[in-house]
Amino acid sequence: MLVHEDEPFNAEPTPKVLGRSTLTPINAFYSRNHGPIPTIDHDKWRLVVDGLVDTPLELSLADLKSQFEIHEVVATLQCAGNRRAGFLAVADIPGEDPWQGGAIGTAVWAGARLVDVLAAAGLADDSADLHVDFSAPDVSELATPPQAYGSSIPLSKAMQTEVLLAWRMNGRDLPRVHGAPVRVVAPAYIGARSVKWIDRISVQTTPSDNYFQATAYRILAPSADPDQAGPGDGISLGPWALNSEILTPTDDGSVPAGAVAVTGYAVAPEHRRVVRVEVSADEGATWHDALLDEQPSPWTWVHWRTNLDLDPGNRTLVARAWDDTGTQQPQEAASLWNPKGYGNTAWPTKTIHVDQERGT
Amino acid sequence: MLVHEDEPFNAEPTPKVLGRSTLTPINAFYSRNHGPIPTIDHDKWRLVVDGLVDTPLELSLADLKSQFEIHEVVATLQCAGNRRAGFLAVADIPGEDPWQGGAIGTAVWAGARLVDVLAAAGLADDSADLHVDFSAPDVSELATPPQAYGSSIPLSKAMQTEVLLAWRMNGRDLPRVHGAPVRVVAPAYIGARSVKWIDRISVQTTPSDNYFQATAYRILAPSADPDQAGPGDGISLGPWALNSEILTPTDDGSVPAGAVAVTGYAVAPEHRRVVRVEVSADEGATWHDALLDEQPSPWTWVHWRTNLDLDPGNRTLVARAWDDTGTQQPQEAASLWNPKGYGNTAWPTKTIHVDQERGT
């Protein structure tokens, strides 16, 4: 793992590890934290469900596990800051970790559906313009003012069957670093909405006013001073955009000439599918369609691969994904750059050295 | 109107006309046809509903109007070929009309909800992976082989309340050129799915095999020969992508120096909202946020406007829209160019001449 910070703990796997499998092993799953990882006594833990519900609930872990059907969802989580490193050539982004393309991972999550828990509290109508707010106990000194982490999702998303209160990950009890005893899994939304160590769910008329949602996870205007940003500035990040990354070869890597295997991942926005990924080794003069691996569910990335026949020399590989609306990723990181470095969905590039073929 | 072809009739309004109002007058609404406009005796017209339904229906116009509640939806329709003209500087696109940015319009549509008609035929479960196929009587000699027009939408879309079988447009009976007596209105899908003069609705397990859906309305690989394209090639166009256009000033237009009003429209993909439109007059060095007009419904474009203070000289104006995922339009038409010229969602540009201020 590439550790960006020890406290709060922020780390991502290497591209090589990430590319090995469609399901990401727990020990290779990125970890994004805003404060110290809390230690929670599972026997004493309670989940409060309140706000605009008929019957507020207070559930123990045993209640949650026994009163609700367990469901599995294979889903990708991705940090809003994934691929921020690609912005740094445009302009510096002080105070934020330079995530490579590894702030993303895919796991089999299991737990109760959020919609089932909301129904038990007497909310079964998704037609209202409401929000489901999540609170956690991890206090962040990075917030202004320091506060426990929280965020929300629209009720319309909360009522979808893919949104879980998960206590299992890849068939094992959820590890502490990933939110034990219970975390939210809100597929196709930035990871910041999949709140770890959740202890309260509130149905309310407004989105979360927590610092991290109201002020932090936003695409500010390029000219904005992030230290002066106030609640509501910029584009609030929730559902994510079409994105892709090249995992092999790695940047600055050397490969023998001949058939060079190029692999990576792509993720589509919610409701959409990745339908085409192209790779170019000649500055975009020609493009080669990559083969798309099978997706384990509609809520995951798709891994892709192709072989390019490359002569010796230095090359820049570039990739771009398309979804089923005909949306193509924007080309230049410069056009997407923003002061907090979110949403780098520009075409990924890797500069490689193609050596003489082995044995020649 | 700018008439591209008389037979079949294909015409679009000028940018100036299009920019006058959020609702497009009927006489300024683009017309996209693949064959002669049929003349239909409204008394003899019947709508057949069959396929995977419990009770096939055969409805007269009087049946449709009397047996189903009438609903209004304010919705934008947009042709998949809108803004094709912007592709021609990249490479020629023979055999397709060079639509400017006017193959789009917004109207108040009224009619029966498709979901209500499907329910009457005994289909109320949207969970199956089915398709709703639309047939019309207008025979196109441009199809291979010549055939009546048809297309389909996924059942999951057909069950949404925004999809209408419309017989009214902006408060008047639907005009013949726009599909009288009844047309489909499938908001946020390319216009080709909003079938005019509809006479049959069939629920089936596969998407339409009509030439225009299986072969024609697709983003082929740039190197593909469209005359050799077969069913299933390329990206099938259904739900549309984020797009925008500058309506004033017009290309090659002259304006007096000083505060220059720049206006246009932007459309978001289904489930998404346009949250930011920026305009630059200095090749992208600086960007100005446009003001977004109110949207009459979630299914329409948004008009936008800003004033730029411009000195005399030649300028290129460029705009770009963002949606609420942080998706930004791709920059270059060259990266989106495809042999049939669909889906030009690149940043719109207009070259203008800024003259000395009036009176100076």
Task: Quote the number of domains for chain B.
Answer: 2
Picking from A202, A234, A266, the residue at the C-terminal end of a domain is: A234
**Closest CA of chain A from B112, distance in Å:** 21
- Is residue B209 located within the same domain as residue B81? yes
Mutate to test the interface with A, among B223, B325, B329, B332 (most CBs of A within 10 A): B325
CATH number at residue A154: 3.90.420.10
Q: Are B240 and A322 inside 8 Å of each other by CB?
A: no
- Is residue B188 located within the same domain as residue B171? yes
Q: Which pLDDT band holds residue A358 (cuts at 50, 70, 90)?
A: low
8 Å CB contact between A340 and A84 = no
Residue of B nearest to A275 (CA): B235
**Which residue type occupies B279?**
V
Mutate to test the interface with B, among A327, A331, A332, A335 (most CBs of B within 10 A): A327
Q: Are A287 and B222 inside 8 Å of each other by CB?
A: yes
A154 interfacial to chain B (CB closer than 8 Å): no
Residue from A55, A31, A60 nearest A118 by CA:
A55
Which helix (H) or strand (E) segment is B77 a member of? strand B70-78
Q: How far is Cα B134 from Cα B191, in angstroms, rounded to an integer?
A: 13
Could you tell me what percentage of chain A is helix, strand and coil, using 3-state DSSP and rounding each to the nearest 5? 15, 40, 50
CA distances for B118 relative to B45, B75, B125, B221, angstroms: 19, 21, 10, 37
Split chain B (360 residues) into runs of 10 and give each run's mean pLDDT: 95 96 97 96 98 97 98 98 98 96 98 98 83 96 95 97 98 98 98 98 97 97 93 96 97 93 98 98 95 97 97 96 98 98 98 81
- Is residue A222 located within the same domain as residue A273? no
Picking from A181, A216, A234, the residue at the C-terminal end of a domain is: A234
pLDDT of residue B228: 93
- Arithmetic mean of pLDDT, A230-259: 96
- Is residue B209 located within the same domain as residue B258? no
Residue of B nearest to A243 (CA): B327
pLDDT of residue B128: 78
Residue of B nearest to A343 (CA): B326
A357 interfacial to chain B (CB closer than 8 Å): no
**Closest CA of chain A from B238, distance in Å:** 6
Helix (H, G, I), strand (E, B) or coil at B28: helix
- Arithmetic mean of pLDDT, A42-57: 97
- Is residue B204 located within the same domain as residue B320? no
A-chain CB neighbours of B322 within 8 Å are 219, 235
pLDDT of residue B249: 97
The three-point CA angle B257-B261-B262 to 5° equals: 115
The β-bridge relationship of strands B200-204 and B46-51 is parallel
Residue of B nearest to A347 (CA): B330
Q: Are A324 and B271 inside 8 Å of each other by CB?
A: no
- Is residue B141 located within the same domain as residue B6? yes
CA distances for A62 relative to A89, A175, A182, A185, A315, angstroms: 50, 17, 12, 19, 56
A236 interfacial to chain B (CB closer than 8 Å): yes
> Percent of chain A scored above 70 by pLDDT?
99
B171 interfacial to chain A (CB closer than 8 Å): no
Q: Is the ipTM of this complex over 0.90?
A: yes
Helix (H, G, I), strand (E, B) or coil at B116: helix
| pLDDT mean across residues, chain A | 96
Residue from B184, B211, B178 nearest B199 by CA:
B184
- Is residue B211 located within the same domain as residue B247? no
CA distances for A318 relative to A155, A245, A256, A264, A308, angstroms: 38, 9, 18, 11, 12
8 Å CB contact between B272 and B282 = no
pLDDT of residue B127: 73
**Closest CA of chain A from B275, distance in Å:** 7
**Number of alpha helices (DSSP H) and beta strands (DSSP E) in chain A:** 6, 23
8 Å CB contact between A2 and A11 = yes
Which residue reads 């037979």 in tokens?
A: B7
Q: Which pLDDT band holds residue A281 (cuts at 50, 70, 90)?
A: very high
Tell me the residue range of the domain where A346 lies. Answer: 243-358
Residue of B nearest to A190 (CA): B325
Which residue reads 């000395």 in tokens?
A: B356
Q: Are B239 and A331 inside 8 Å of each other by CB?
A: no
DSSP-derived secondary structure letter, B212: I
Helix (H, G, I), strand (E, B) or coil at A26: helix
**Closest CA of chain A from B329, distance in Å:** 6
Q: Are B241 and A326 inside 8 Å of each other by CB?
A: yes
For residue B339, the Cα-to-chain-centroid distance in whole angstroms is 19
First-to-final CA distance of chain B: 36
Residues 6+ apart with CB under 8 A from B223: none
Closest partner residue to A235 among B236, B275, B320, by Cβ? B275
Find the farthest-apart pair of alpha carbons in chain A and give their distance in angstroms, rounded: 75
- How many CB pairs lie under 8 A apart between chains A and B? 92
Residue of A nearest to B269 (CA): A325
Q: What is the DSSP string of A203-261?
A: EESS---SHIIIIISEE--TT--GGG--TT-SEEP-BPPPEEEEEESPTT-EEESEEEE
Residue from A137, A160, A164 nearest A148 by CA:
A137
- Arithmetic mean of pLDDT, A58-65: 98
- Is residue B139 located within the same domain as residue B28? yes
CATH number at residue B262: 2.60.40.650
Which helix (H) or strand (E) segment is B333 a member of? helix B333-336
Picking from A234, A251, A269, the residue at the C-terminal end of a domain is: A234
Closest partner residue to B330 among A222, A324, A330, by Cβ? A330
A window 268-287, beta carbon within 8 A of B = 269-272, 275-276, 284, 287
Q: Which pLDDT band holds residue A137 (cuts at 50, 70, 90)?
A: very high
CB environment B279-298: b (16+ within 10 A), e (fewer): bbbeebeebeebebeebbeb
- Is residue A115 located within the same domain as residue A182? yes
8 Å CB contact between A212 and A195 = no
- Is residue B228 located within the same domain as residue B116? yes
pLDDT of residue A357: 74
Q: Are B240 and A342 inside 8 Å of each other by CB?
A: no
- Is residue A226 located within the same domain as residue A286? no
DSSP-derived secondary structure letter, B256: E
Closest partner residue to B326 among A222, A289, A342, by Cβ? A342
A-chain CB neighbours of B242 within 8 Å are 327
Q: How far is Cα A295 from Cα B339, in angstroms, rounded to an integer?
A: 29
Cis peptide bond N-terminal to B339, omega within 30: no
- Is residue B254 located within the same domain as residue B125? no
Ranking A189-203, A244-258, B116-130, B312-326 by mean pLDDT, the lowest is: B116-130
